[in-house]
Structure 1
Amino acid sequence: MATVNMKTIISIIAAVWLCVSSTVAFAPSSSRTFVATRAVVAAPTALNVFGNRKTEAQKEEEAAKAAKFWQGEWVCKDCGYIYNRAECAGMYFEEQGPGFRCPQCSGPRRRYAKKVGDRVGTTLDGGDAPILLFSFGGLIATIVFGVWAVQNL
Structure 2
Amino acid sequence: MKSIIAIISAICLLASSAFAFAPATPRTLVAPRSAVAPTSLNVFGKRKTEAQKAEEAERAAQFWQGEWVCKDCGYIYNRGECAGMYFEEQGAGFRCPQCSGPRRRYAKKVGDRIGTTLDGGDAPILLFSFGGLIATIAFGVWAVQNL
Q: State TM-score, norm by structure 2.
A: 0.70
Q: Could you say which residue in structure 2 is the equivalent of 1:64?
A: 58
Residues 144 and 87 (structure 1 numbering): CA distance in 2 closer, same or farther, change over 3 Å? Answer: same
Q: Could you say which residue in structure 2 is the equivalent of 1:118?
A: 112
SS at match of 1:113: strand
Superposition map of 1:44-55 within 5 A: 51-55=45-49
Q: Does 1:150 align with 2:147?
A: no
For 1:71 and 1:93, locate their aligned partners in 2 and report how far apart those are by CA, in whole Å: 10
Letter matched to residue 137 of structure 2:
I
Deviation at 1:55, TM superposition (A): 1.3
Letter matched to residue 117 of structure 1:
G
Residues 94 and 150 (structure 1 numbering): CA distance in 2 closer, same or farther, change over 3 Å? Answer: same
For 2:60 and 2:84, locate their aligned partners in 1 and report how far apart those are by CA, in whole Å: 12
Q: Could you say which residue in structure 2 is the equivalent of 1:39?
A: none
Q: Could you say which residue in structure 2 is the equivalent of 1:87?
A: 81
Number of equivalences = 111
For 1:68 and 1:144, locate their aligned partners in 2 and report how far apart those are by CA, in whole Å: 48
For 2:87 and 2:21, locate their aligned partners in 1 and report how far apart those are by CA, in whole Å: 40
For 2:106 and 2:74, locate their aligned partners in 1 and report how far apart those are by CA, in whole Å: 9
List structure 1 segments (4+ residues) > 6 angstroms apart after TM superposition. Answer: none
Q: Does 1:141 align with 2:147?
A: no
Deviation at 1:31, TM superposition (A): 4.2
Deviation at 1:111, TM superposition (A): 0.5
SS at match of 2:98: coil
Q: State TM-score, norm by structure 1.
A: 0.67
Unaligned runs of 5+ in 1: 1-19, 33-47
Unaligned runs of 5+ in 2: 1-12, 25-41
Letter matched to residue 130 of structure 2:
F
Residues 63 and 136 (structure 1 numbering): CA distance in 2 closer, same or farther, change over 3 Å? Answer: same
Give % identity.
86
